[in-house]
Amino acid sequence: MLTIAISKGRIYDDTLPLLAEAGIIPIDNPKTSRKLILRTNQDDVKLVIIRATDVPTFVEYGAADMGIAGKDVLMEHGAENLYEPLDLGIAKCRMMTATPVNAPEISGRIKVATKYVKTAQRYFAGIGVQAEIIKLYGAMELAPLVGLADCIVDIVETGNTLKANGLVAKELITHISSRLVVNKASMKMKHGIIQPLIDQFEKTIENRH
């Protein structure tokens, strides 16, 4: 049995064509089904639908053989114990800092609101800025508006949410896309199933360019 962990939403939608090219089609639809384990047309392949932030954990501990996760999630989780054989080139966005429009330049220690605590710490340490990181789980854009933080670190797709809340994107931290990750033990034990799937994904991605 091969278990693939995916999160609902954009990553799932963007992954479906890749799976279809590899001959894997879910029988259950996560939009209409409450099931967290989805059957597919392949008896030996199932999908588990979990939170994006949990994908690396499920794969690392072998609850899933493979998973698809955004680079933002992998950077925050720390992916040393995972194979990351492929950039799938889907669900693309940018991780950036953002401040209120017309905010004065900050000097000295700054307060940063984000859910990407470890990534933000590494970034600001790398550019030599002292930063107090405040962890939030959502509504990041509020933090500078109510005086909780000087700036935020968040994922930016179009920038429309920032604009609507009077913020502007500033420094690019990194480009983000979704990656295929594989459990190390599974790669050895199920190499005969996993490697052909990686090869098929790679072929599909190349054909798109």
For 65, phi and psi rounded to 5 degrees? -75, -35
What is the tens place of the pLDDT at every residue in 2-50?
999 999 889 999 999 999 999 999 998 877 888 899 999 999 999 999 9
| Residue 108 predicted with pLDDT over 90 | no
Place of tokens 């047309």: 41
| Cα distances (Å, whole numbers) of residue 75 to 69, 81, 90, 191 | 10, 12, 17, 26
Q: Does one domain contain both 183 and 80?
A: yes
CA distance 7 to 64: 13
What is the tens place of the pLDDT at every residue in 133-155?
999 998 999 999 999 999 999 99
Q: What DSSP designation does 26 have? A: B
Q: Does one domain contain both 114 and 35?
A: no
Q: Does one domain contain both 86 and 102?
A: no
Q: Does one domain contain both 184 and 83?
A: yes
The residue range of the domain holding 201 is 2-91+177-208
Question: How many residues are present in the chain?
Answer: 209
What CATH number should be reported for the domain holding residue 137? 3.40.190.10
Q: Does one domain contain both 162 and 197?
A: no
How many domains would you assign to the chain?
2
Q: Does one domain contain both 17 and 35?
A: yes
CA distance 168 to 184: 41
